[in-house]
Amino acid sequence: MQVILIVGATGYLLTALLFFIARTMPRTNPGAGWWGLSSLAAGTGYIALLVLGMSGRPELGEALYNTLFVVWIVSLYIGGSQFLYLKVNTKTLLSLAAVVVLWLSYFNHIQPEFLPAAVAVSLFCGLLNLHLAWLFATKMVRNSAIKKHWWWRWQSAASTGSTTRCYARLNRLLQSASHSAQSSR
């Protein structure tokens, strides 16, 4: 377990350094600084788990790791939304993160019970991750060459429900592809 934490912390800290360096380079998309903070939080969380676990206080290490996990995900989300040029209400997001951290602190220090703290952190971080993945997926489909690909057009025709139109469109696409291949010879 210690080796995994050391390797993970090293990887995240090196990634944080690279993101902070990339942030200073010209023509770098926005969000790199937030991603650097995200990697720094993850690396620090692994170090907290390692050091506090070895010193005999693993519950404090887990509490600190979970708090840094919330920072990790929030920074990742803000950086991702900036990378996609989407507006995010940062105050609301940070307020929700603060509520999760307070919930986590209550169930780690005042009423030591693992399950409510773990559920809150997992739900919050999981939902943010899913939403960020959704944002990336929808942005990529809207702005990419995927729409120009014949398979995408065929699937779009197939989703209309008309099988004949779908096959007719596929036939036209195949004929135009073979015609363009013959004309290029």
Give the distance from CA 59 to its chain's centroid: 27
pLDDT of residue 179: 61
DSSP 85: T
pLDDT of residue 126: 93
DSSP string, 23-78: HHSTTPPTTHHHHHHHHHHHHHHHHHHHHHHHTT-HHHHHHHHHHHHHHHHHHHHH
Helix axes 32-54, 58-83, angle to 10 degrees: 170
pLDDT of residue 38: 94
pLDDT of residue 11: 92
**Tokens 């995900």 appear where?**
73
pLDDT in tens, 119-164: 999 999 999 999 999 998 887 766 655 555 555 555 555 555 555 6
The residues of the chain scoring below 70 in pLDDT are 141-171, 174, 177-185
pLDDT of residue 79: 93
26/24 Cα distance (integer angstroms): 7
pLDDT of residue 47: 93
Secondary structure (3-state) at 160: coil
Burial category of 45 from C-beta neighbours within 10 Å (exposed 0-12, middle 13-18, buried 19 and up): buried
Closest CA relative to residue 74, chosen from 121, 117, 108, 20? 121
Give the distance from CA 95 to its chain's centroid: 20
60/109 Cα distance (integer angstroms): 9
